[in-house]
Chain A
Amino acid sequence: DSGVTQTPKHLITATGQRVTLRCSPRSGDLSVYWYQQSLDQGLQFLIQYYNGEERAKGNILERFSAQQFPDLHSELNLSSLELGDSALYFCASSYRTVSSADTQYFGPGTRLTVL
């Protein structure tokens, strides 16, 4: 158990809908990262937050947004969902920012299925 929690574990929804994925980082970690892993693919970095502020952005679609709250948990919002958004969404956390040496620890992921 990495100490990173993600809810829900599974999510099934329809095209055009909006969903919110939630992540709680390890105790004491200030950075949260979001990744997308499509079937049998590698991980695509989406976005990173550090202590409530956006710090780095990857290949995140405009339909997707995220935020990190004062209690350091983070939410990833996916809207106008398309079939191609079906994937495993991982959250990871680390103590410091992306520019430091800290290792990321991953949550168990949320499997999103868009029908």
Chain B
Amino acid sequence: AQTVTQSQPEMSVQEAETVTLSCTYDTSENNYYLFWYKQPPSRQMILVIRQEAYKQQNATENRFSVNFQKAAKSFSLKISDSQLGDTAMYFCAFKGTYKYIFGTGTRLKVLA
């Protein structure tokens, strides 16, 4: 069965610092997609970044980047120059042939 694991329930970071959120997954599929979604206190689910498994290059979106290690089945999210608005729950998600599977989330708090 496919699983997504986020082993850090909560993290905090000082404003302007860098933080890395971890995500590991398990699958026997070769073609799949990985996502990070952000859920701020408003509870809206917002796409942060997406990575195609067939691409070796790590995805980057402004201050957000991923470290995708396909062999290790690891997909971490790095947030640079953290801002107060980054305070949110972050969910890692896997999409294979069928349904999406979400991790349990990491609650990130950015401290002023």
Are B91 and A42 closer than 8 Å at their CB atoms?
Answer: yes
Overall SS of chain A's interface: loop
Query: Per-residue 0/1 for B90-112: is the Cβ within 8 Å of any A Cβ (1 yes, 0 no)?
Result: 01000101111111110000000
With the chains together, A92 CA to B97 CA distance in Å? 17
With the chains together, A111 CA to B43 CA distance in Å? 10
Are A106 and B45 closer than 8 Å at their CB atoms?
Answer: yes
A115 within 8 A of B: no
Number of contacting residues on A, CB 8 A?
A: 22
With the chains together, A19 CA to B33 CA distance in Å? 34
With the chains together, A42 CA to B46 CA distance in Å? 14
With the chains together, A31 CA to B75 CA distance in Å? 26
Contacts of B50 in A (CB 8 A): 103
Q: Which of A42, A92, A98, A103 contacts B98 (CB 8 A)?
A: A98
Are B47 and A105 closer than 8 Å at their CB atoms?
Answer: yes
Query: Per-residue 0/1 for A14-52: is the Cβ within 8 Å of any B Cβ (1 yes, 0 no)?
Result: 000000000000000000010000000111010010000
Compute the total of residue contacts between A and B using a CB distance below 8 Å.
Answer: 48
Are A98 and B99 closer than 8 Å at their CB atoms?
Answer: yes
Are B105 and A42 closer than 8 Å at their CB atoms?
Answer: yes
* 30-53 of chain B: CB within 8 A of chain A: 33, 35, 37, 42-47, 50, 52
* 82-112 of chain A: CB within 8 A of chain B: 88, 90, 92, 98-99, 101, 103-106, 108-109, 111
Are B102 and A43 closer than 8 Å at their CB atoms?
Answer: yes
Given contacts A45-B100, A56-B98, 19 further A-B contacts (CB under 8 A): A2-B44, A33-B100, A42-B104, A42-B105, A43-B91, A45-B99, A56-B99, A88-B43, A90-B45, A92-B45, A98-B95, A98-B98, A99-B98, A103-B35, A103-B47, A103-B50, A106-B44, A108-B44, A111-B43
Ranked 8 nearest A-B pairs via Cβ: A106-B45, A43-B102, A42-B104, A42-B102, A45-B99, A56-B99, A56-B98, A99-B97
